[in-house]
Structure formats: C-alpha cells, structure tokens
Amino acid sequence: MTEKEVIQKNIEEFSRLQKYMILTEDKKSKAYLEMKDRYIELKIILTSFGISLVELDKIKE
C-alpha cells in the first residue's frame, strides 16, 4: 500500500467514524468511548502525515 493510499484510507475512516460519533446519543456509552479512542488515534496518524484537520474535524474534541 502506498503512502497516498494509507492517507486516503485513514481520512475515509476518520470521516466515517465522526459520522457515527455524531449519531450516537449516549456520549458515555462504551461504544462511544471506543470510537473516541479511535478518533484520537486517527487524529494523531493524520497529523503525523501533515494533514490539516481544520476542515475534516467535525467533532473538535
């Protein structure tokens, strides 16, 4: 997998995960907390690739 493909995959996962987080009503549920952990991981990964999250980040946590 090329670097470009890895970045694309992570951006797509980040966007999809945010949609699920926004749809989740119980922000203290185990599922939401797991999503939040992955959200943080993806933010770190994308930032390390030099991707600006200003436009992508809808959660802002």
Tell me the per-residue pLDDT of 1-59, one tens digit each, with 9 for 90 and over: 999 999 999 999 999 999 999 999 999 999 999 999 999 999 999 999 999 999 999 99
DSSP character at residue 56: T
User: How many other β-carbons are positioned within 10 Å of the β-carbon of residue 14?
Assistant: 22
Reply yes or no on whether the pLDDT at 61 is more than 80.
Answer: no
User: How many other β-carbons are positioned within 10 Å of the β-carbon of residue 43?
Assistant: 18
State the pLDDT at residue 36: 97
Q: Is the pTM of this model over 0.85?
A: yes
Domain count, the chain: 1
Residue 9 belongs to domain spanning: 3-48
Judging by beta carbons within 10 Å of its beta carbon (0-12, 13-18, 19+), is residue 39 exposed, middle or buried?
Answer: buried
In a domain, 54, yes or no: no
In a domain, 22, yes or no: yes
Reply yes or no on whether the pLDDT at 60 is more than 90.
Answer: no
